[in-house]
Amino acid sequence: MNFLTRTVAAVAMVFAFAVSAHAQVKIGIVISMTGPAATLGLPQKNAIALMPKTIGGQDVEYITLDDASDPTTARRLVERLITEDKVDLLMGPTISPSALAVVEAAGRGKTPMITFAAARSIVQPLDENRQWVYKTTINDDIFAKATATYMAAHDQKKVAVIGFNDAYGESWASAFDQAAKNAGLEIVASEKFNKNDTSVTAQVLKVMAAKPDAVLVIAAGTPGVLPQSTLVERGFKGAIYQTTGVTTNDFLRVGGKAVEGAIIATGPLIVADQLPESNIAKAAATEFAKAYNDANGANSISAFPGFAWDGFLLAQAAIPVALEKAKPGTPEFRAALNDALQNSKAVVTTSGPVTLTPKDHTGFTPESLVLIQVKDGKWTYLPN
């Protein structure tokens, strides 16, 4: 090889490295801004708008895409972000069916992903693909245990369930089934419905025929109104519980008086200003709630922008660690970022301190959750 050939080869190598590495950290975000889950995804879009453009002195580029609440679209967009945009980190999707649809793509692309969806099966079992996946929602088994414990403490021994016929509904129902057994409850009826259904009268009549003391509705967004409003219309007098998937202001607006009294185990953000000073999440939750309300209108905060913001907080803690080991835009950086994420320790989030390990990709403790109730059309903190 003569001098000219060696020089050209050296320049080519430098050029190739420059092309493969990014001048900034790229974060690809897939959320539901349209479709049935838009009431969950649009608040997350508002939270993303608040995310700083630098982390650890490094510029950050956010690429935000809409999956239209469709798992197939979510997977296509995630694959595009990995192969074409070559992002360093993925965030989202918003809902469990979409998150489950992209786990394999994130793992195969060896790109860490922090999802905002709820189902425990997104991060368990921690197989090869899930080694790259994290989530910012408390596991549904923790929520289910709190819900069943509250029911038992209030002498509600016979319980019926009406849940989504999808991954979210199935995961939650499975978790609640075990929690109910442990709490000494009897599940006397279990019905399913689809998020686009316009009537659940048949399911509600079967549930009421079983004479439960309480009914648990497992749904996300405004579709959670339909079973509760139908129960009320049919004269059900027992307690009605919902899950954290409905904790949006649109649920209150659409449900009106029909959702009064609903009890939910959820994260603390939505009642941040009502939390006792001893709550481990109060400071971070109150700070973010104020920033969000200042930007989007008074009392506009809900649980869902918090899931996105907590994803940013985890990234903000991990990215500087990865920058010490590799440059953005490279496989080495993505691996270093994944390693930093799964060794995060006591990262302060709106749901309390989060510690991640290679065996725990959620990291929340039971002390993070709270019980809330709809009173006078507002989310109200419910002391145990």
pLDDT computed for residue 20 by the predictor: 56
**29, β-bridge pairs:** 64, 91
Other beta carbons within 10 Å of 152: 17
Alpha-carbon distance 114 to 308, whole Å? 9
**51 is written with which tokens?**
């995310």
- Pair 65, 30: CB distance under 8 Å: yes
Alpha-carbon distance 294 to 292, whole Å? 5
Ordered per-residue pLDDT tens for the chain, 384 residues:
444 445 444 444 444 444 457 789 999 999 999 998 999 999 999 999 999 999 999 999 999 999 999 999 999 999 999 999 999 999 999 999 999 999 999 999 999 999 999 888 999 999 999 999 999 998 888 999 999 999 999 999 999 999 999 988 998 999 999 999 999 999 999 999 998 999 999 999 999 999 999 999 999 989 999 999 999 999 999 999 999 999 988 999 999 999 999 999 999 999 999 999 988 999 999 999 999 999 999 989 999 999 999 999 999 999 999 999 999 999 999 999 999 999 999 999 999 999 999 999 999 888 888 999 999 999 999 986
Question: Could you tell me how far CA 42 lies from the centroid of its own chain?
Answer: 13
Measured in degrees and rounded to the nearest 5, phi and psi for residue 353 equal -65, 140
- Pair 200, 162: CB distance under 8 Å: yes
Alpha-carbon distance 263 to 383, whole Å? 12
Alpha-carbon distance 28 to 47, whole Å? 15
**55, β-bridge pairs:** 58
pLDDT computed for residue 210 by the predictor: 98
Nearest alpha carbon to residue 24 among 65, 47, 55: 55
**49 is written with which tokens?**
């708008």
* Single-letter amino acid, residue 97: P
Alpha-carbon distance 348 to 143, whole Å? 20
